[in-house]
């Protein structure tokens, strides 16, 4: 058997192209036509070409030494609702904070782009990001009202932070909403609550694949002491007075003794409906915010999600993996429970 290593020069001779063309094809560089890339990559595989790991390590080292000359950049796409982006969405602020920390550690420059809800956003962003020479981007928790983001993905290494509603075939990093709901149900049961009611937003529940309801049903099934209460889905379009009346009727009909919700306004809505917290009802949150909402509940790991997204994107960029992926994977990050005065241990006489 011939044990000689097949080189790029061998592939170039067989393909009747320059060795630089082979290098670009193996790196899936979009400067070559896709047909040319596919032909050369298939030929290299047939010939048994394998990258030299020592040479790859040397190239990586050289790239890191040249970082000061041309620092690579990542685009970070965020929802846009007002001029003071980030003042409303605590999770988005934390995603960005974690992403910036990872970029500093890995040597990237992070460029933030605000994304509106127009159907033309995709072409606009493609043009701007390519003009700045940015090859990687994170689609970070865009608004549910944006139904699609039609960019020229073949030019970018890309992944999503949540944003499942866009139905992009990209790797995704997000919070493990099913697991945190199960954790919350288990902890609330340990505190003595037996009729725990889940109420979440209908839009986010549908766009994320119904993880809250799934976590609730499994959590109640795992604890035989708990009574299953039909989850209540809330719509942002509901009028304020109607929403409170709906919540009150649901609590009374099912004799709910504790409410679990991902809406930070839930404690205020329950008080508006006439309930005292925690005297009448315990309240726990599925997404703790330091500025609003219940104190007890799950502190989701938004910062860590941002860090993991940048780490994963860095690997895609270094290995020249661009465009949408046939079988993308999802990385889920767990949250942490914290006790609080909105959900004290339940008294038996209550």
Helix ranges restricted to H, the chain: 8-15, 19-26, 34-47, 53-65, 90-106, 121-131, 177-190, 202-207, 211-222, 240-254, 266-272, 302-318
User: pLDDT tens track of the chain, all 350 residues?
Assistant: 456 788 888 888 888 888 888 888 887 777 788 888 889 888 988 888 887 665 555 555 565 555 445 679 999 999 876 444 444 578 999 999 999 999 999 999 999 998 988 878 899 999 999 999 999 999 998 888 888 899 999 999 999 999 888 899 999 999 999 999 999 999 999 999 999 999 999 988 988 889 999 999 999 999 999 999 999 999 877 776 789 999 999 999 999 999 999 999 999 999 999 999 999 999 999 999 988 899 999 999 999 999 999 999 999 998 889 999 989 999 999 999 999 999 999 875 34
Nearest-CA neighbor of 338 among 305, 299, 303, 302? 299
The pLDDT of residue 137 is 96
Q: CATH: 3.40.50.300, 3.40.50.720, 3.40.50.2300, 3.20.20.30. Which one for 177-300?
A: 3.40.50.2300
For 35, residues 6+ apart whose C-beta sits below 8 A from its C-beta are none
Give me the torsion for CA of 208, 212, 214, 215, rounded to 10°. 130
**Gap between the Cα atoms of 283 and 341, Å rounded:** 9
Hey, CA dihedral for 61, 29, 116, 240, is it positive or negative? Answer: negative
Whole-number pLDDT of residue 195: 97
- CA dist 126 and 151 (Å) reads 6
Model pLDDT, residue 285 = 97
What confidence score (pLDDT) does residue 320 get? 86
- Cβ atoms within 10 Å, residue 346: 17
According to CATH, where is 3.40.50.2300 located in the chain?
A: 73-170+303-334, 177-300
Q: CATH for 73-170+303-334?
A: 3.40.50.2300
């Amino acid at each position: 058997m011939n044990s000689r290593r097949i080189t790029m020069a061998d592939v170039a001779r067989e393909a009747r192209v320059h060795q630089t063309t082979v290098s670009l094809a193996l790196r899936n560089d979009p400067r070559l036509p896709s047909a040319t890339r596919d032909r050369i990559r298939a030929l290299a595989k047939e010939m048994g070409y394998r990258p030299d790991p020592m040479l790859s390590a040397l190239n990586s080292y050289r790239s890191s030494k040249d970082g000061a000359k041309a620092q690579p950049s990542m685009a970070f796409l965020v929802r846009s609702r007002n001029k003071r982006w980030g003042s409303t969405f605590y999770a988005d602020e934390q995603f960005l904070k974690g992403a910036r920390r990872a970029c500093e550690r890995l040597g990237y420059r992070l460029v933030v782009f605000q994304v509106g809800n127009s159907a033309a956003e995709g072409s606009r962003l493609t043009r701007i990001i390519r003009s700045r020479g940015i090859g990687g981007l994170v689609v970070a928790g865009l608004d549910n009202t944006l139904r699609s983001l039609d960019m020229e993905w073949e030019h970018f290494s890309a992944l999503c932070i949540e944003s499942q509603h866009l139905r992009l075939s990209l790797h995704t990093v997000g919070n493990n909403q099913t697991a945190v709901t199960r954790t919350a149900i288990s902890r609330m049961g340990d505190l003595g609550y037996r009729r725990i009611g889940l109420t979440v937003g209908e839009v986010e529940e549908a766009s994320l694949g119904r993880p809250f309801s799934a976590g609730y049903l499994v959590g109640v099934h795992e604890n035989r002491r708990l009574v299953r209460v039909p989850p209540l889905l809330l719509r942002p379009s509901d009028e304020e007075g109607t929403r409170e009346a709906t919540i009150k009727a649901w609590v009374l009909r099912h004799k709910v003794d504790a409410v679990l919700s991902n809406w930070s306004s839930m404690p205020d809505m329950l008080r508006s409906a006439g309930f005292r917290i925690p005297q009448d009802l315990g309240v726990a949150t599925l997404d703790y915010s330091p500025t609003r909402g219940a104190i007890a509940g799950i502190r989701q790991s938004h910062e860590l999600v941002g860090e993991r997204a940048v780490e994963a994107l860095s690997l895609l960029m270094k290995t020249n993996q661009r465009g949408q992926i046939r079988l993308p994977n999802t990385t889920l990050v767990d949250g942490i429970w914290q006790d609080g005065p909105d959900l004290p241990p339940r008294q038996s006489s209550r």
